[in-house]
Structure 1
Amino acid sequence: MSKQYDVVIIGAGPGGMTAALYASRSNLSVLMLDRGIYGGQMNNTAEIENYPGFKSILGPELGEKMYASSTQFGAEYTYGTVSDVIDHGAYKTVKTDEGDYEAKAVVIATGAEHRHLGVPGEDQYSGMGVSYCAVCDGAFFKDREVAVIGGGDSAVEEGIYLANLASKVTVVHRRDQLRAQKILQHRAFANDKMEFVWNAQVEEIVGDGKKIESVKYRDKETGEEKSLPAEGVFIYVGIEPMTEPFKNLGILNEAGWIETDDTTRTKVPGVFAVGDVRDKHLRQIANAVGEGGLAGQAVFDYLQELGDSEIAATEK
């Protein structure tokens, strides 16, 4: 038989762990599921300087603290890769490679993944100069030269942000013009600290084993290989929600993100979503935690409503 819970939380990043804290503190039976270690992308962040309460803290350390807090009221945690969630109305079946679970409510907190370039040096220097979040890591490159890879809204917005910190920001784009909104392009072109390399195909991120030194790229027009000095490389070639297992629920928009109301409820009763998996603008630890708190309370409210409806049905 499937193990039964009041709520199964899929994903144990900051949003999922906070939802577990709030739900278990309301005396609900809670299971957190994750395909890897709890903490999510915090485990890949060397240092966090923008989370209230800590002047600076290592990402994995903050993950450990959140986990201890999230499980103090009895929430369980286990590994499992979710393949499907089936809605039966009053309960849901969460199917994983480690077995099935049943719950009256489900909170989806699976996050999103940045697309990678797939070039040598990218994985090697991840967290050591390669970043996918200027707001998270830009302060580490104050008065240094950095490169931004990409030409869309995110690349240009983050390039403008980095220009407030870095000594020089070079936007490297594979095309001959940006794809970002015109207003963003205007701001970027007007910024004296920003430069642009066009028709450039990045081929390698080069370093000395400890830090980044340059970006090697090929000029697509001439075929010439060139090198751009940089101590930090910020990559913005797209971001994808991790929502494949939830397609059957009908809660995704055309781009694959989960849409919710302002209490984290989706269009399916009993299914909630928090964190980077939602269709939103800012993806940071602080607002994921806030959404997790909302979801924990929303789950409690939903189960109260569900109980009331079941009582009403038996009285008819």
Structure 2
Amino acid sequence: MLDANLKSQLKAYLEKVTLPFEIVASLDDGPKSQELLGLLQDIAGLCDKITLRTDGSDARVPSFALNRLGGDISLRFAGLPMGHEFTSLVLALLQVGGHPSKADADTLERIRRLDGEYRFETYFSLSCQNCPDVVQALNLMAVLNPRVQHVAIDGALFQDEVEARQIMAVPTVYLNGEPFGQGRMELEQILAKLDTGAAAHEAEKLNAKAAFDVLVIGGGPAGASAAIYAARKGIRTGIAAERFGGQVLDTMAIENLISVPETEGPKLARALEEHVRQYEVDIMNLQRASQLVPAGADGLHEVRFENGAALKAKTVILATGARYRALGVPGEEQYRAKGVAYCPHCDGPLFKGKRVAVIGGGNSGVEAAIDLAGIVAHVTLLTHGAQLRADAVLQRKLHSLPNVQVILNAPIAEVTGDGQKVNGLLYKDRVSGETRRLDLEGVFVQIGLLPNSEWLKGTLELSERGEIIVDARGATSLPGVFAAGDATTVPYKQIVIALGEGAKASLAAFDHLIRTSAPA
């Protein structure tokens, strides 16, 4: 099952296992069971502290549980955790085998203190880059707290469950049989939903912090770059982010980051955070900014957050990035994650054999249609323009696919459904003026980005598109407040550009500090 190189790497990891445990597999005679058996045999053969049993009786087949001998752990994988989930499997093996987690001590203690019964089920797809974070977080909770149970389920392999529960987006998490959450969630976010006092406790900690020289808002490439450049100047630096990594976490393949031939979004996001942590930067994750209060007599700007916390700083760098732009038509919000999706890499496998539409004629839309064409029965690409805007090479590939149809001059009027899930869409034919209908099961929206700047309206100058207006140095209309990345008017929303803009804004903030603090 595993090639020699992967076996060698895995063997080195499994040397960190200190406590014996067993893998209990539930199998049948099917090909997937045989694949899983091969994988588990390879794993057990690499570590003398791991025992493999094949007498499991779980209802989900194929599946396997990791049981610490003499322990009380309920952790299971249903399916083959390969692809993006192979890392989740390796971490689970290590943690069940006694290797400590890298999570901070306060978080680990909060997990151990959880009271009650928590039976989690997570549906994932092997191509989803957001799923491993959720799976790994819940696996860790199951290892640390016997009251937490977790099973990670490959949705593509257990289609009956996916259909019965009408799951159309991954990751989807159930708690005690009821929907708990969808989309990327980090460990702290899950704990915050379970521990109702967590938000107030976190706000209290933030309110007690001294003022920063530079406070960065946003943890994407621009924010990470700004924090590093500020910290290297030896000044007090903080970074508050809703989720570290930002939109990069939703990006699959990255092949244009200079000197890095190929990487993936989540991998780059982890590298950015690890780099920031090498410096004396106060990282405050899961913090959503809600208001910027310009500096008063004390010379300190204040940023307020949705949890009631507030931070002060001599200078602020806004790097809040952007998010997927919505269609803004009836039915879109109602059927979000019920057929309306924004990530073809994550959710595409859930639409295997079905009919879908992709909305958007740029590179993102055409790339999504090409990707989906290899999974679904049929793809209809619709764009409101008279022609596609994607690169010529992508258009040639698109038109070569037999199960793809392109409809031009077709603004979307409505997403329709049966109350539970999408069953079609309505679009207007701009040539004839008629409204037409497409019957389908999924709609993938790929129409660009919207800057995360609503909370700044009325505080500093924004463009008509809502972008933060900056000058050549990254300065905004407020003295001492700078901005960088996809939330600004700087053209070409690219990772490499955001990195540079973050560095530039940080250098400009430092220049502002030394000039405004210089003695008369």
Q: TM-score normalized by structure 2?
A: 0.46
Matched, 1:157 2:363: no
Match of 2:279? Answer: 73
Identity %, equivalent residues: 27
In structure 2, distance between residues paired with 1:6 and 1:156: 47
In structure 2, distance between residues paired with 1:168 and 1:143: 14
Aligned pair in 2 of structure 1 residues 295, 227: CA closer, same or farther (>3 Å)?
same
Match of 2:50? Answer: none
Aligned pair in 2 of structure 1 residues 127, 293: CA closer, same or farther (>3 Å)?
same
Matched, 1:127 2:345: yes
Higher relative contact order (CA 8 A, sep 6+): 1
3-state secondary structure, aligned to 2:341: coil
Query: In 1, are the aligned partners of 2:250 and 2:265 still within 8 Å (CA)?
Result: yes
| 1:91 pairs with one of 280, 300, 309 | 300
In structure 1, distance between residues paired with 2:483 and 2:407: 39
| 1:198 pairs with one of 402, 405, 410 | 410
Matched, 1:167 2:372: no
3-state secondary structure, aligned to 2:390: helix
Match of 2:62? Answer: none
1:208-232 C-alpha deviation (Å, 9 max, x unpaired): xxxxxxx9543557666435899x9
Match of 1:110? Answer: 320
Aligned pair in 2 of structure 1 residues 151, 161: CA closer, same or farther (>3 Å)?
farther
3-state secondary structure, aligned to 2:313: strand
In structure 1, distance between residues paired with 2:342 and 2:467: 29
Give how far 1:51 is off.
1.4
Query: In 2, are the aligned partners of 1:251 and 1:259 still within 8 Å (CA)?
Result: yes
Deviates further, 218-227 or 43-52: 218-227
3-state secondary structure, aligned to 1:248: coil
Query: In 1, are the aligned partners of 2:414 and 2:425 still within 8 Å (CA)?
Result: yes
Match of 1:218? Answer: 426
3-state secondary structure, aligned to 2:340: coil
Deviates further, 256-265 or 84-93: 84-93
Matched, 1:8 2:212: no
In structure 2, distance between residues paired with 1:284 and 1:146: 27
What are the within-5 Å matches in structure 2 for residues 162-311 of structure 1? Answer: 162-163=394-395, 165-167=397-399, 196=408, 198=410, 201=413, 203=415, 216-218=424-426, 220=428, 225-226=437-438, 235-236=446-447, 239-308=449-518, 311=519
Q: TM-score normalized by structure 1?
A: 0.73
1:114-156 C-alpha deviation (Å, 9 max, x unpaired): 2234254333754345798726983994896975544269x94
4+ residue stretches of structure 1 with deviation over 6 A? 130-133, 142-146
Any unmatched runs of 5+ in structure 1? 173-192, 206-214
Q: From the CA coordinates, give the structure whose radius of gyration is larger.
A: 2
Q: How large is the RMSD of aligned CA atoms in angstroms? A: 3.7
Query: In 1, are the aligned partners of 2:226 and 2:502 still within 8 Å (CA)?
Result: yes
1:140-174 C-alpha deviation (Å, 9 max, x unpaired): 94896975544269x943376732553359xx9xx
Match of 2:187? Answer: none
Query: In 2, are the aligned partners of 1:20 and 1:32 still within 8 Å (CA)?
Result: yes
Any unmatched runs of 5+ in structure 2? 1-207, 349-357, 418-422
